[in-house]
Structure 1
Amino acid sequence: MKNCLAIITARGGSKRIPRKNIKNFLGKPIINYSIQSAIDCSCFDEVIVSTDDQEIAEVAIAAGAKIPFIRSAESSNDFSTTAEVISEVLRDYKKIGVEFEYVCCIYPTAPFITADKLKNAYEMLISSGAKSVVPVVRFGFPIQRSFKIEDNSLRMNWPEHMSTRSQDLPASYHDSGQFYFLRTESFLKDNKLFTDFTVPYEMPESEVQDIDNEEDWKLAEIKYTFLLSKQKNR
């Protein structure tokens, strides 16, 4: 049994940002950031890209990743889940007699991932005995005081907290949408990224950005450029 596998998930059918996974991000295809971070991390026996797209495969190979299998049509549609993609890759490896103790799923549009973050998450998974490690970021405002719109009227989701001070409410977090580190045996049994024993890896808001549209893309470039300038000035 091998120790650890990195799977970068990059199908070809992005719609809101065409060719999103290989679009130029500050000088190179955005997927290259994920590939390079995984390669630079000392955790992985193999770094692969799961894709159904020939152009993405060529870019990935040029960046140093492997393409041992082509993703099936069943796991490449708009409704395919990340868990389904991971399961398919693990099944394909098992068919050729290869199994891994740990697996890390990495998203291709996550330039804020670094080798150190992946290594820290890996060590956290091992030392905690958890089934998975998920990077999270804190909401900037208490969600207990959030609103919804009903019948064109603004209403509180939790009106009982109308007068509760922000500092008296517990912090809430959301998935940073960058990677998931999993204990393979537990994942194959539960088929879940979030389990009854998932530990958080907290990230600062400055290093997290969903990229779903062109405005998100520009914000990610601004944040990334800001981080580079901070690092240079240290």
Structure 2
Amino acid sequence: MINGKRILCVIPARGGSKGVSRKNLRDLNSRPLLGWPIRAAKDSKYIDEIICSTEDSEIAELARDLGVRTPFQRPSELASDEAATADVLLHAIDSLERTNQIFDYLLLLEPTSPLTEASDIDQAIEVLDAESANFDSLVTVCESISGHPNFTFEFVNSSKLLKSINQKDWKLYRRQEINPLFFVEGTLYLSKISTFKTHKLFIQPKTFGMEIPRWKSFEIDDELDFLLIAAIMSDAPDRFPKEN
């Protein structure tokens, strides 16, 4: 808890995956991909309950082996490619509330962002709780550089002639000359449960953006991502230790 408020962490991990087959069970730096968000959540100072939401029996067994609860089986309609994450989380909240398990904050950790650390989680919880009069949710963001509109072009029809999408006159800007823009990168998502139920999103009218370094923004979408993130972890073995 933090200041008497209870915190629920939900880790969604379905069995199906188009980019990398069975990726939640896949080894990354000698630990299952699912094991990284579980490790971060268990090391947090504030989280009261960690659950894994899955429809897959093998993933559920792994989650339990790693020390987190799987108090329900996710319905098949919430495990499809089209299922919205918000519906998955609302199902989890409702399932717990029906057994009188009530929480104040909801934290979403996705296995596809395995570079999340307990320190990120604790910082986010402390910030949102301290700013709770002004903000209802918090998401992590990273500065957008290569994808900045001033560096982005489109083709004019099929001629291959480049046209800037954000400038009247073509100009090669230096990074120091552009206005910083940020993208929501997925390290973690945090919200008051009351406002999440209303908006069904983490991006709400009063959302705090917590900036994180670029190296934390890498996500697992394909085989190359496994190689890149494994290299990052290997370069910081004290922060991302291999499983004994």
TM-score by length of 2: 0.89
Asked if 1:132 corresponds to 2:137, the answer is yes
The aligned counterpart of 1:218 is 227
Give, as a single letter, the amino acid of the residue that structure 1 aligns with 2:142.
V
The aligned counterpart of 1:112 is 115
Distance (whole Å) between structure 1 residues aligned to residue 212 and residue 169 of structure 2:
27
Distance (whole Å) between structure 2 residues aligned to residue 138 and residue 111 of structure 1:
19
Contact 2:106 2:193 in 1 (8 A): yes
- Per residue, is there more helix in 1 or in 2? 1
Deviates most, 91-100 or 33-42: 91-100
- Structure 2 CA distance for partners of 1:152 and 1:49, relative to 1, 3 Å: farther
- Structure 2 CA distance for partners of 1:228 and 1:161, relative to 1, 3 Å: farther
Residue ranges of structure 1 left out of the alignment (5+ in a row):
none
Distance (whole Å) between structure 2 residues aligned to residue 194 and residue 10 of structure 1:
22
Residue ranges of structure 2 left out of the alignment (5+ in a row):
none
- Structure 2 CA distance for partners of 1:120 and 1:230, relative to 1, 3 Å: closer
Equivalence map 1:81-230=2 (5 Å): 81-129=84-132, 130-141=135-146, 142-149=148-155, 150-151=157-158, 153=160, 154-160=162-168, 162-163=170-171, 165-166=173-174, 167-228=176-237
Give, as a single letter, the amino acid of the residue that structure 2 aligns with 1:179.
L
- Structure 2 CA distance for partners of 1:148 and 1:51, relative to 1, 3 Å: same
Q: 1:16 Cα shift? A: 1.5
Distance (whole Å) between structure 2 residues aligned to residue 136 and residue 25 of structure 1:
24
Q: 1:168 Cα shift? A: 2.6
Deviates most, 220-229 or 128-137: 220-229
Match of 1:28 among 27, 31, 52: 31
Give, as a single letter, the amino acid of the residue that structure 2 aligns with 1:144.
N
Contact 2:55 2:79 in 1 (8 A): yes
- Structure 2 CA distance for partners of 1:227 and 1:172, relative to 1, 3 Å: farther
Would you identify which runs of 4 or more consecutive aligned residues in structure 1 move more than 6 Å? 229-232
Distance (whole Å) between structure 1 residues aligned to residue 44 and residue 169 of structure 2:
44
Among all aligned residue pairs of Structure 1 and Structure 2, give the percentage whose two residues are the same amino acid. Answer: 27
Secondary structure of 2:61's partner?
A: helix
Q: 1:231 Cα shift? A: 9.1
Offset from partner CA, 1:75-118 (integer Å, 9 cap, x none): 11101121111111111112112221001011012221111110
How many equivalent residue pairs? 232
Deviates most, 117-126 or 103-112: 103-112
Give, as a single letter, the amino acid of the residue that structure 1 aligns with 2:158.
D
Contact 2:63 2:69 in 1 (8 A): yes
Secondary structure of 1:91's partner?
A: helix
Q: 1:173 Cα shift? A: 1.2
Secondary structure of 1:200's partner?
A: strand
Q: 1:73 Cα shift? A: 1.3
Distance (whole Å) between structure 2 residues aligned to residue 230 and residue 108 of structure 1:
17
Distance (whole Å) between structure 2 residues aligned to residue 230 and residue 77 of structure 1:
34
Distance (whole Å) between structure 2 residues aligned to residue 217 and residue 203 of structure 1:
20
Secondary structure of 1:159's partner?
A: coil
Give, as a single letter, the amino acid of the residue that structure 1 aligns with 2:173.
R
Secondary structure of 1:176's partner?
A: strand
Match of 1:45 among 42, 45, 48: 48
Contact 1:144 1:169 in 2 (8 A): yes
Q: 1:230 Cα shift? A: 8.9
Offset from partner CA, 1:41-74 (integer Å, 9 cap, x none): 0211111100010010111111111101111112
Q: 1:159 Cα shift? A: 2.7
